[in-house]
Chain A
């Protein structure tokens, strides 16, 4: 084949530009850390990439949702703890009032304290966390109790719907407890106590017979708290699963689209030397012609 300077020069230019293109590709891969920068580089990787990102975003979102679940459960548990302490005090007061040495005046004072405790319980039932009333079912904009018992306009809202938060595809946790049953029970029991204590005819025996009611409410409270505890366990298990899922999703995504640095850098260095060779050979080849040697 007849080869001319023109052809050599053209070939050299083309080869150099191919070489630059490959260098550019490796550079892009190294800078972005990704194998592909556009779908046509590898359509399968690109499509899978969209799906894996979606998966990862899901897992991260569910982790955020779980944070919210914790918020609900911890707040409720904390509130119920306070209510429990209050009930303990009530129990002490009832025992104190049930001794026959207590005068009606003493009992009246105890009734006053119980009234204050009742108000405290109402406050606990109206606990507001992050702008939500956590014991009024799904109607979180409104408190469970309006006003205080024995006052004008006292009312119970009492929504009993579950508040559900999604913690995994299709898995929802109801994060609230039935505040209406629990707190109306306690308030009612305290109403009864006040009536008995304010009654001058009450004897020690009649008062101590109410102890069982107090205990019943304490049990109800404990039941609610153990329900919360069980939920807490479920959440923790879910949390563990999600963090495993996160690792898996991240790994899948990385395997799919991330470069292996050692490989790409090696490729780049190889290409670099090829490029140097191309340049030096090109520079040699295109120089001399017969013109240089004719006298």
Chain B
């Protein structure tokens, strides 16, 4: 990643225009050609430095539901529990965390009722209590990272 890549990443996190030739417009703001911008973006995506380029949608506003949940997975069964939980297509992310509640996952479903159903299935298949922590209120969500 060079200085130009860093500038692109920082610039393009803030918002991308909706117009007929948006890459040309952004390239002009940065002072490069559209072709270089497209090449750089493609390379950053290929290298996995950018995981995505495009609109970020708000799941709940699409009628779906999201929740954060956690379990206390006993160390000796940790991998097995992860496998069971990850097999659910509704599990979007799953992280091991250093705490007694050591496995934290996000459930995303098409409807709010499905959250409870999936949690019940996970409890049955793992034999563990699922701590469901749906958001009561969102104060901020922004994913800006300085490159």
- A and B bind: no
Spell out B's residues near A (CB within 8 Å).
none
